[in-house]
């Protein structure tokens, strides 16, 4: 009987050691959770169409995008949105007539600068560059890095009759690093818009 009790105690002691060993191993294992995967983005094909003649400016935009009227509460007649449904991306276009008034040009430039500057709170950096398009138009482009609402903005004007501003937005609550392919694609789309922009003859006398 005594030998039997000793045997039971030895078995229990062995189970305790085995259990302790398992606990020790599980506590010291270096477990790293797997990062969440990013959704696969379907980038539209690079095909373009012209804006309708009803607008005082002209440029080419993607056949995969929808041309919408501006939906903001301060929208004006010639403001539009170029919406990409598959990317949930939007290029917001605003337009103003200068009427050969220098004070209006200064006002609109100041407004555009202030809207870009608001991004500085969350931006890692803002790179600004002035370019001349193949059609001879001048554009001031601001590329904004960081977790910001708008990653790409631009202004174009002939300094006398036309002033146009554009801003790229994404209607998606995700980090910009996961949107990187879409952001890069949309920057190219905005640049195509910029490079094909012309003022209508009725507004500027030139194309």
CA distances from 193 to 121, 141, 177 (A): 28, 12, 24
CA distances from 157 to 87, 100, 106, 132, 196 (A): 29, 12, 11, 12, 14
Q: Which pLDDT score, from 0 to 100, does residue 34 have?
A: 39
Q: Which pLDDT score, from 0 to 100, does residue 144 have?
A: 83
Does any domain span residue 164? Answer: yes
Q: Tell the residue number behind the tokens 């041309």, with chain if given.
A: 67
Residue 165 in contact with residue 153, Cβ under 8 Å? yes
Q: What domain range includes position 125? A: 48-204
- Number of structural domains (the chain) is 1
**Cα distance between residue 158 and residue 34, in whole Å:** 53
Does any domain span residue 153? Answer: yes
Q: What pTM was computed for the model?
A: 0.73
Burial 16-26 (b: 16+ CB within 10 A, else e): eeeeeeeeeee
Q: Which pLDDT score, from 0 to 100, does residue 75 have?
A: 73
Q: 3-state DSSP helix/strand/coil percent for the chain, to nearest 5? A: 35, 30, 35
Does any domain span residue 53? Answer: yes
Bridge partners of 40, per DSSP, are: none
pLDDT tens string, the chain, 207 residues long: the values are: 544 544 444 444 344 334 444 443 333 333 343 344 445 667 888 899 999 999 999 999 999 999 998 877 667 889 999 999 999 999 999 999 999 999 999 999 999 988 877 666 565 667 889 999 999 999 999 988 777 778 899 999 999 999 999 999 998 765 666 788 899 999 999 999 999 999 997 543 333
Q: Which pLDDT score, from 0 to 100, does residue 198 have?
A: 97
Does any domain span residue 19? Answer: no
Q: Which pLDDT score, from 0 to 100, does residue 154 have?
A: 97
CATH number reported for the structural domain that contains residue 109 in this entry = 3.40.1000
């Amino acid at each position: 009987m005594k030998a039997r009790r000793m045997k039971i105690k030895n078995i229990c002691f062995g189970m305790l050691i085995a259990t302790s060993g398992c606990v020790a191993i599980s506590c010291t294992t270096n477990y790293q959770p797997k990062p969440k995967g990013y959704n696969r983005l379907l980038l539209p094909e690079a095909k373009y169409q012209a804006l309708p003649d009803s607008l005082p400016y002209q440029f080419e935009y993607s056949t995969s995008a929808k041309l919408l009227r501006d939906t903001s509460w301060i929208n004006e007649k010639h403001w539009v949105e170029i919406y990409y449904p598959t990317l949930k991306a939007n290029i917001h276009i605003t337009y103003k007539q200068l009427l050969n008034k220098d004070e209006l040009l200064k006002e609109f430039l100041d407004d555009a600068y202030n809207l870009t500057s608001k991004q500085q709170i969350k931006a890692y950096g803002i790179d600004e560059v002035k370019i001349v398009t193949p059609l001879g138009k001048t554009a001031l482009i601001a590329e904004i890095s960081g977790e910001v609402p708008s990653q790409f903005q631009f202004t174009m004007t002939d300094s006398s009759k036309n002033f146009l501003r554009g801003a790229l937005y994404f209607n998606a609550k995700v980090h910009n690093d996961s949107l990187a392919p879409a952001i890069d694609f949309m920057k190219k789309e905005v640049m195509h818009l910029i490079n094909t922009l012309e003022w209508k003859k009725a507004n500027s006398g030139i194309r």
